[in-house]
Amino acid sequence: MRMPKRPLSGIRVLDLTNVLAGPYCSYQLALLGAEVVKIEVPGQGDLARHLGPDVDLNRSGIGASFLAQNAGKKSVEIDLKDASDRADFEDMVRGADVLLENFRAGVLARLGFGWPRLRELNPGLVYCAISGFGQTGPMSQAPAYDQIIQGLSGMMSITGTKETAPLRVGFPVCDTVGGLTAALHISAALAGRAHTGEGTFLDVSMLESAVSAMGWAISNYLVSGVPPEPMGTQNATAAPSGTFEAADGPLNIAANRQQQFETLCDLLDRPDLLTDPRFTDREQRKLHRDELTGELNLSLRRRTAREWEQILSPAGVPAARVATVPQAVELDQLEHRGFFTELPFPDGSERVLKVAGGGVLHDGEPLRPTAPPPLLGQQNAERAALAHRWSGQADSAVTP
């Protein structure tokens, strides 16, 4: 298999982040070719090292949550309150292209490394700070995890049904969106620096990233003044568009266009639905959503979800079964695209580690991590040499 060219090859990232939003961001940068060095608190490291369902891995400092987004990185233990460690850290800053952190607003500045000092050390540095609410404003000092942002963003209020909302989305979506937002703007800042030679301070707010990602739920309210409501598995913008009942379980159908609805009725052998005045166009179908769902379920229960998927999807009607996570990771489509990569386990055991990719093919090939996640301080012995190498290349770091 040909190794694709990695667009961030040669870019050096100091990663001071913990848990998810920051590490997810730097994992995307590592997949894109950046050299990522995790700066971890001596003896403790990233909190995610101790998170996950496998207690033994948590005790060993390689919890499943850590393994998920730290492949291909290096780990160096540095105490920013220690004079010798601070000197090595400053050398690394001088040669870095990116410094990424997700402390509470102002923490790094109180340690002596605010943006003025970082810019003094390296005028071309892209400094990205991810926090719950941003570095400024009345909530800037409030602690925040994904759960907090999901609640404040309004996301939980429209998740579930009228009877069950508010509900948390089933994975840390705000952390993930925050990390993607940071990775996008870091890449943009690096591209801009290639023309100006100047660094940038990126102040990433998870709250703002989440509200931005909510898209139509926000804009529909801003434009129409009508607050969105929880609709369970249904799509507010169209009908039939949601989850329906096949013979063996749930089936998602999104017949958002008139032609798709007509094809669906034809394949279900339900021409009567096309002439029913309740279902003649999009707006009527939305008004009579429950009645339409009941009629469709009567016909869909004749076959399994997989059978309907194989009938409807090739005919142009978006349809697919609702998979569990174990079923999803075994999808042939993901295997065909090379989405997962198998790596050696970092502790040297015979276990195989399987990690996710970034979801993009570059010139037809996936970008894969080059090494397993590091043990805490795995590159400690290389710290001085790494700092010297980075510092020695500082003059050439302006152009990616």
Local structure of residue 69 (DSSP, 8 states): T
pLDDT in tens, 309-329: 999 999 999 999 999 999 999
Q: What is the pLDDT of residue 395?
A: 46
Interacting residues of 312 by C-beta distance below 8 A, sequence separation 6+ = 253, 263, 264, 267, 318, 319
Residue 332 has pLDDT above 50, yes or no: yes
Local structure of residue 316 (DSSP, 8 states): T
* C-alpha torsion sign, points 10, 12, 17, 18: positive
Cα Rg for the chain, rounded, in angstroms?
A: 25
Q: Would you say 47 and 16 are in contact if contact means Cβ atoms under 8 Å apart?
A: no
Sheet holding 241-245, edge to edge: 241-245, 250-254, 319-321
Indicate the pLDDT class of residue 47, thresholds 50, 70 and 90. Answer: very high
Task: List Cα–Cα distances, 143 to 15, 128, 212, 308, 376, in angstroms.
Answer: 20, 18, 21, 47, 26
Residue 179 has pLDDT above 50, yes or no: yes
Q: Sketch the domain layout of the chain as residue ranges.
A: 12-214+332-396, 250-321
Task: List Cα–Cα distances, 132 to 21, 101, 206, in angstroms.
Answer: 10, 12, 5
Indicate the pLDDT class of residue 388, thresholds 50, 70 and 90. Answer: confident
Which two three-digit tokens encode residue 58? 């948590």
Residue 1 has pLDDT above 70, yes or no: no
Judged by DSSP in three states, 55 sits in helix
Q: What is the pLDDT of residue 5?
A: 84
Local structure of residue 6 (DSSP, 8 states): P
pLDDT in tens, 8-35: 999 999 999 999 999 999 999 999 999 9
Q: Which of 131, 100, 108 is nearest to 28 (CA)?
A: 100
Residue 74 has pLDDT above 50, yes or no: yes
Same fold, 12-214+332-396 and 250-321: no
Residue 396 has pLDDT above 50, yes or no: no
Q: Would you say 38 and 74 are in contact if contact means Cβ atoms under 8 Å apart?
A: yes
Q: Which of 14, 196, 28, 11 is nearest to 118 (CA)?
A: 14
Q: What is the pLDDT of residue 390?
A: 83
Q: How many percent of the chain have pLDDT more than 70?
A: 97
Q: Write out the catalytic residue numbers.
A: 175
Q: Which CATH fold would you assign to the domain 12-214+332-396?
A: Rossmann fold (3.40.50)
Q: Would you say 76 and 377 are in contact if contact means Cβ atoms under 8 Å apart?
A: yes
Indicate the pLDDT class of residue 385, thresholds 50, 70 and 90. Answer: confident
Report strand pairing: 340-344 vs 352-356.
antiparallel
Q: What would the mean pLDDT of 47-75 be, rounded to a whole number?
A: 95
Write down the CATH superfamily of domain 250-321. formyl-coa transferase, domain 3 (3.30.1540.10)
Q: How many percent of the chain have pLDDT more than 90?
A: 91
* pTM (two decimals): 0.92
